[in-house]
Structure 1
């Protein structure tokens, strides 16, 4: 498990990140964490597992009110969030579509 400062640094340095927030007393978290980790590994995306009981500041920083929570970041910005009931099919679809690099999007080409 990683601490908050390590994950904050990764969010600024790495293009894509998946943050999984759990609690040691959450049985669903123990089931969902390996699934989320595998998806991140399958798409070569950095995975960060954090326990809210070991680092209570997580709740405020990530604005998480329930666990498990999966947050997806691209270029340091949160682009998706799921909590309590994780839809792994939609999570996988999102991870498939994430750009692998952090080049700026040319919106002129997108909207023409």
Structure 2
């Protein structure tokens, strides 16, 4: 797990990021985290796992009301969010389409 400052720096400095927010007491989080991590690794996207119990300010910073939550960032902007019930098929489809660099992104094509 990484701390909030490190994750915020990565969101600013890296083209793409996947942020997974969980709670130590959440059993679904323990199942979903490895799946989300593997998808990010498969598409060579930085993956950040944060625990909302260890860092309570995450709730306000990322506006997360329930866990697990997966947030996808491109060029510093949140482009997708799923919480509680993660649809890994749609998450994978999105990660496949993300441009690997920070060139101008055609968001119309990205969200087809």
TM-score by length of 2: 0.93
- In 1, are the aligned partners of 2:99 and 2:105 still within 8 Å (CA)? no
Unmatched runs of 5 consecutive residues or more in structure 1: 108-112
Count matched residues.
107
Could you say which residue in structure 1 is the equivalent of 2:40?
40
SS class of match (2:65): coil
Deviations 1:28-57 (A, max 9, x none): 000000000000000000000000000000
Unmatched runs of 5 consecutive residues or more in structure 2: 108-112
Distance of 1:106 and 1:56 partners within structure 2: 35
Distance of 1:63 and 1:41 partners within structure 2: 25
Matched, 1:67 2:67: yes
Return structure 1 stretches of 4+ with deviation > 6 angstroms. Answer: none
Could you say which residue in structure 2 is the equivalent of 1:55?
55
TM-align CA RMSD: 1.2
Q: Compare CA radii of gyration and give the structure with the larger one.
A: 1
